[in-house]
A and B are shown apart, each in its own frame.
Chain A
Amino acid sequence: MSTSTLKSEPLSAEDRQLILATQSGLPLVPDPWAELGEQLDMPADEVLSRFQQMQQSGVIRRVAAVPDHYRLGYRFNGMTVWDVRDNDIAMLGERVGCLPFVSHCYQRPRHLPYWSYNLFAMVHGTSRDEVEHKAGLIREVLGGACSGHTILYSSAILKKTGLRLRKQADKQ
């Protein structure tokens, strides 16, 4: 799935409010829309239809029970980075993104001579060996189009808050 074609349209004040109210999760009650409606002073059916519109327009990427992989036991988080021939990266990026153990896959710019890697694929494992085995499978997909790679293991999560819109208008 490619997302670079998405264009930003300004969010309405109501949609921003709804993002604020739901960014740390939906209310876990039988009718979450009614509860949000009370908070936002909006009818429940309007809350639901705005939410659905944000899904359709791509503002909401997915709606999910989002697992904390570290907490589940995936203690090793490897950011695998690859130097992939420019002409092949679109096709190969799609294929790497489809591997079942890759949670994110992006193309990013090189900054030579400091940084030569243009493809990023996030891999989780219960051990370093597992991450390395999975990186080996990515290496096979990339074949001769790849001229180098490394794995950056995370050693500490220093901050993780997800998307957070500011309560007071960030945009003035």
Chain B
Amino acid sequence: MRLDAADRQLIDRYQRDLPVCERPYQEMAETLGLTEDEVITRLCRLQEQQVLSRVGPVFEHSRAGASLLAAVAAPEAQMDLVAARINRAPGVNHNYAREHTYNLWFVMTAPDEDTLDERLDELEQQLKLPILRLPMVEGYHIDLGFAIDWEALP
């Protein structure tokens, strides 16, 4: 995906600290040397192209309820079935296949800790596989984006 300099600058500058004020896109436009309309048009296009997954707030999961990272070691032959069961379980919002004995990694969420434990217990019984439970003990850098090396991209 080739993006022009203004797109890149927009993404670099606003992976965090998007202004929260009466006219946010106007303020962005002033910083970037564009018009408000240009900023909005670019954001809409980048979102349509799925270069941006969204423009808006990233919520702190632990403040809206409970969540944890979990993993299971699914036998290779059953991986699709196990993955489908995990995806159907209430509260699962991410599920990644990874190359490891623990080959399915998912985030389980719930309104509170008790419900979270119940959901995991229930899923564990359904899957008949032990679930590795890896709650966050401490966060050192949480989802704040990272510097994109545009020149290195294909």
| Residues of chain A having any CB pair with chain B under 8 Å | 1-4, 6, 8-9, 11, 19, 22-26, 28-33, 48, 51-52, 54-55, 57-68, 71-74, 77, 79, 89-90, 93-94, 96-98, 100-109, 111, 114-115, 118, 120, 124, 126, 130, 150, 152-165, 170-171
Contacts and interface: CB of A to CB of B under 8 A. Distances in A.
Question: How would you classify the secondary structure of chain B's contact residues: helix, strand, loop or mixed?
Answer: mixed
B96 A156 contact: yes
B57 A94 contact: no
B140 A93 contact: yes
A110 B99 CA distance: 19
Most chain B beta-carbon contacts within 10 A, residue among A31, A61, A109: A61
Nearest to B88: A159
A139 B121 CA distance: 36
A115 to B, nearest CB: 6
Question: How would you classify the secondary structure of chain A's contact residues: helix, strand, loop or mixed?
Answer: mixed
7 contacts: A2-B139, A25-B54, A55-B20, A72-B1, A100-B146, A101-B147, A103-B143
Contacts of A54: 57
A167 to B, nearest CB: 14
Contacts of A4: 136-139
Interface string B32-61: 000010001001101101111111111111
Nearest to A92: B140
Contact of A63 (B58, B62, B65, B99): B58
A39 B63 CA distance: 24
B100 interface: yes
B59 A19 contact: yes
B121 to A, nearest CB: 16
Contact of B22 (A31, A106, A120): A31
B142 A153 contact: no
A108 B145 contact: no
A8 B63 contact: yes
Contacts of B64: 11, 19, 59, 163, 165
A67 B134 contact: no
Contact of B43 (A28, A118, A154, A164): A28
A138 to B, nearest CB: 12
6 closest residue pairs by CB, A with B: A97-B141, A97-B140, A25-B54, A73-B153, A159-B95, A171-B111
A111 B132 contact: yes
Contacts of A101: 146-147
B1 A66 contact: no
B148 A72 contact: yes
B145 A6 contact: no
Contacts of B112: 171
